[in-house]
């Protein structure tokens, strides 16, 4: 593998996204959008701070501190903080809410994303600023919020807190609320008189909640204010009380982040630990409907689960609350026509509601469109459980939707068209987070220029030199090694942190076993590989096992860049020869080609290893080689009999992931740098076109490439060298 970082591909869009956040910045907080939402919203600020954290720590912190300045004395964090200078454009405002002591806030809360946002801010603090002061300031406020939730919203200590208004879920008119809202007989005659203002900002009524919904929203607010916001009284009367799967999942995730903050600040975190455990297991046990194969919210008034299929049901992945089996089932649903399958085409992942339901509506607010915040959380959740391909496909959609259709509030799940408010803050903020996370040079560049001296290898290290003779030569050592590697990955996968714990692998007896298998490789007879398929499978598996072995052996913490020339400096001995990853890739799999930016073929003419080179270069191998960084293929075991099918799948997955972004409206295509480095392997620009057309999903983007290739501007995406833990 060859590492070079260039590309400024997303510069213009990063600028545009920052501009959205700047235009919505009021001096103390960021409005969700200029017209429709002029005040400060609770979870919006959490998402916004996550985006800001990458380039303006000060504003990110202020976003949250201004919100928490309005925390109620009982710890509740209101869902809206009103700006007294812009009253009159929104309903309901403080005159309607009548919050205690004349507070300029609403009287309900929202999903508590804030500990997660604080941890993210801390993780992105620049050098010279540990970010600890900020955490010290926020910790007691976050604790007060979580204590409020467990004390007031979970009085019977079930581990699941209840919401008492659809607005508290953040998904106002979600189909999941249809049934519980039926409990409310909102009689116009007894309802307070009110006027909707949300329809006065140019958004068509069919993209917003209906009047019937609004009557019920108002009914509930009226109840709360009549009860003086005393939770014990509200609880007795309230016809809408739901243990919402989304709210509890975000709380569960926030507990985990709060725990990390508390531990870092050396606080006594016993209470937080209990919350983590209680909510995580309650979600997994009590919000899971086995027959429906999905997570659901629990209607606490009627005492039953609400069988509605919304994207909220995927949030236990973000929480790390789903078991492995549950995650597997969720993945299957996510990857089906219900939620826009991988390679389905003509849809965007993931719509907020099951697309096969009769009342699915690709335009109406929380009843079918794609929302970036939900997708962002689901994608993180999928990554946590190892479903990288689907997560990447989602990331690609989250990046392309705003670029193609604007920074809208939500997007049509079939056409991508943007709806609701334009210039919407969290769309811009999370777009920025994704771009900084996956494609930014700045972020990684900082560390790369500081080589980790301790691990610099002067000479090549042969990783299978320990040959204790106890291991008989196996017929298929590469296969055994891959099986062993997969076993190690499986065993040492840390569900909570969503990564492979390479450090623990190093100390495990399983690793000792693995080393023995690798040692057996020394006696393997390469001449026993006959067909091209057998050879290709062997060398791909060998390459992948070697790279992972190298990462573990050399104690690489976050990037293979920590060891200069990593791909040259490690190797496996087989027979009389040693093969580095570069030798396997360029010398053998690429049919002895020259590495990018080099003048000569990898093996010199007299190199005896040349006899093992494949005769024909198949560019699909680029998508099967795991290179120990996030942009590369997920690790998979290749079999000679299934070779072509597997390589097709690898190519298809890659081409339809966030490594290929087609923007017909901009006459532009962003391609992974792999297509730049190995242009010749694909047959030049025209070859790349053919390759893309072969593997891309057939939709309007396929047509666009087919027709306009000669005039399309191609830019290359930054290559992310962070470890794919």
Q: Minimum CB separation from ligand GLC for residue 409, in Å? A: 7
Q: Which residues lie closer than 8 Å to 434 by C-beta, 6 or more apart?
A: 376, 395, 398, 399
- C-beta separation of 139 from 129 below 8 A: no
Size of the site for ligand GLC (CB under 6 A): 7
**Is residue 295 left, alpha or beta, with left meaning phi > 0 and alpha meaning psi from -120 to 50?**
beta
Q: Minimum CB separation from ligand GLC for residue 211, in Å? A: 16
Q: Which residues lie closer than 8 Å to 458 by C-beta, 6 or more apart?
A: none
Q: Minimum CB separation from ligand GLC for residue 374, in Å? A: 10
Is position 172 annotated as part of the catalytic site?
yes
Residue, CB closest to ligand GLC:
32
Q: Which of 63, 354, 409, 480 is catalytic?
A: 409
Whichever of 18 and 165 has its CB closer to ligand GLC, that residue is 165
- Dist. CA 698–CA 703, nearest whole Å: 8
Whichever of 168 and 480 has its CB closer to ligand GLC, that residue is 168
Cis peptide before 492 (omega within 30 of 0): no
Q: Minimum CB separation from ligand GLC for residue 172, in Å? A: 4
Whichever of 187 and 195 has its CB closer to ligand GLC, that residue is 195
Q: Which two tokens stand for residue 43?
A: 């979870």
**Between the CA of residue 190 and those of 193, 213, 236, 550, what are the distances in Å?**
9, 16, 20, 72
Buried b (16+ CB within 10 A) or exposed e, 255-281: bbbbbbbbebeebebebbeebbebbbe
The 18-57 contact track toward ligand GLC, x by CB under 6 A, reads: --------------x----x---x-xx-------------
Q: Minimum CB separation from ligand GLC for residue 167, in Å? A: 6
Whichever of 44 and 618 has its CB closer to ligand GLC, that residue is 44
- Dist. CA 543–CA 537, nearest whole Å: 10
Please report the beta strands in 282-349, taking only residues with DSSP state E, as ranges in sequence order: 288-289, 294-295, 297-299, 304-306
Q: Minimum CB separation from ligand GLC for residue 501, in Å? A: 36
Q: Minimum CB separation from ligand GLC for residue 544, in Å? A: 42
Q: Which residues lie closer than 8 Å to 558 by C-beta, 6 or more apart?
A: 447, 722, 723
Q: Which two tokens stand for residue 545?
A: 């096992």
Residue with tokens 């480095």: 677
Whichever of 90 and 612 has its CB closer to ligand GLC, that residue is 90
107 binds ligand GLC (CB under 6 A): no
Whichever of 48 and 635 has its CB closer to ligand GLC, that residue is 48
- C-beta separation of 225 from 98 below 8 A: yes
The 151-180 contact track toward ligand GLC, x by CB under 6 A, reads: -------------------x-x--------
Q: Which of 93, 154, 168, 172 is catalytic?
A: 172
**Binding positions for ligand GLC, rule: CB under 6 A:** 32, 37, 41, 43-44, 170, 172
Catalytic residue annotation = 172, 409
């Amino acid at each position: 593998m060859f590492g070079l970082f260039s590309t400024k591909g997303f510069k213009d869009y990063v600028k545009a996204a920052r501009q959205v956040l700047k235009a919505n910045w009021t001096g103390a907080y960021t409005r969700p959008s200029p017209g429709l939402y002029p005040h400060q919203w609770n979870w919006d600020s959490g998402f916004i701070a996550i985006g800001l954290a990458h380039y303006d720590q000060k504003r990110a912190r202020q976003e949250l501190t201004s919100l928490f300045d309005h925390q109620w004395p009982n710890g509740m964090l209101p869902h809206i903080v009103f700006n007294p200078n812009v009253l009159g454009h929104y309903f309901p405002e403080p005159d309607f809410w009548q919050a205690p002591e004349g507070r300029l806030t609403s009287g309900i809360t929202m999903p508590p994303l804030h500990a997660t946002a604080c941890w993210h801010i801390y993780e992105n603090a620049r050098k010279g600023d540990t970010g600890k002061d900020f955490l010290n300031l926020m910790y007691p406020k976050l604790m007060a919020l979580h204590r409020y939730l467990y004390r007031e919203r979970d009085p019977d200590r079930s581990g699941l807190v209840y919401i008492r208004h659809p607005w508290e879920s953040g998904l106002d008119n979600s189909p999941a609320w249809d049934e519980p809202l039926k409990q409310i007989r909102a009689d116009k005659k007894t309802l307070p008189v009110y006027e909707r203002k949300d329809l006065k900002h140019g958004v068509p009524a069919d993209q917003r909640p209906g009047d019937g919904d609004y009557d019920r929203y108002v009914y509930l607010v009226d109840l709360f204010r009549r009860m003086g916001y005393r939770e014990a009284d509200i609880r007795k009367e309230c016809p809408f009380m739901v243990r919402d799967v989304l709210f509890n999942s975000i709380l569960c995730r926030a507990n985990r982040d709060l725990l990390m903050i508390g531990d870092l600040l050396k606080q006594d975190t016993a209470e937080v630990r209990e919350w983590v455990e209680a909510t995580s297991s309650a979600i997994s046990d009590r919000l899971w409907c086995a027959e429906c194969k999905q997570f659901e919210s629990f209607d606490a008034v009627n005492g039953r689960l609400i069988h509605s299929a919304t994207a909220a049901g995927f949030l236990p992945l973000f929480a790390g609350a789903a078991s492995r089996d549950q995650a597997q089932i969720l993945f299957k649903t996510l990857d089906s026509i219900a939620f826009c399958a991988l390679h389905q085409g003509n849809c965007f992942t993931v719509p907020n509601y099951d697309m096969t339901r009769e009342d699915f509506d690709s335009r109406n607010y929380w009843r079918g469109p794609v929302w970036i915040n939900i997708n962002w959380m689901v994608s993180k959740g999928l990554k946590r459980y190892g479903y990288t391909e689907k997560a990447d496909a989602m990331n690609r959609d989250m990046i392309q939707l705003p670029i193609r259709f604007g920074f809208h509030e939500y997007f049509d799940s079939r056409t991508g068209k943007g709806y609701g408010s334009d210039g919407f803050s969290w769309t811009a903020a999370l777009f920025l987070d994704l771009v900084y996370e996956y494609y930014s040079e700045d972020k990684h560049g900082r560390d790369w220029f500081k080589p980790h001296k301790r691990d610099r290898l002067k000479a090549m290290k042969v990783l299978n030199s320990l040959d204790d003779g106890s291991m008989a030569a196996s017929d298929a050592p590469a296969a055994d090694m891959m099986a062993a590697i997969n076993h190690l990955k499986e065993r040492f996968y840390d569900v909570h942190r969503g990564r492979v714990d390479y450090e623990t692998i190093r100390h495990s007896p399983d690793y000792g076993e693995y080393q023995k298998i690798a040692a057996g490789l020394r006696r393997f007879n390469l001449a026993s590989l006959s067909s091209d398929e057998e050879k290709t499978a062997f060398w791909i598996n060998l390459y992948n096992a070697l790279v992972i072995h190298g990462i573990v052996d050399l104690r690489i913490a976050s990037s293979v860049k920590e060891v200069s020339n990593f791909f040259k400096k490690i190797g496996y001995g087989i027979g009389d020869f040693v093969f580095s990853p570069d030798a396997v890739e360029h010398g053998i799999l690429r049919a002895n080609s020259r590495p990018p930016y080099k003048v000569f073929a990898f093996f010199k003419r007299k190199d005896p290893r040349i006899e093992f080179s494949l005769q024909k270069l198949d560019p699909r191998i680029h998508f099967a080689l795991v290179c120990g960084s996030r942009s590369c293929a997920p690790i998979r075991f290749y079999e000679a009999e299934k070779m072509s099918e597997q390589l097709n799948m690898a190519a298809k997955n890659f081409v339809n992931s966030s490594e290929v972004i087609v923007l017909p409206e901009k006459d532009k295509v962003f391609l992974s740098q792999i297509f730049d480095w190995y242009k010749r392997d694909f047959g030049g620009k025209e070859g790349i076109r053919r390759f893309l057309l072969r593997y891309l999903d057939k939709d309007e983007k396929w047509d666009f490439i087919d027709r306009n290739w000669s005039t399309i501007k191609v830019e290359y995406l930054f290559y992310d060298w962070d470890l794919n833990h």
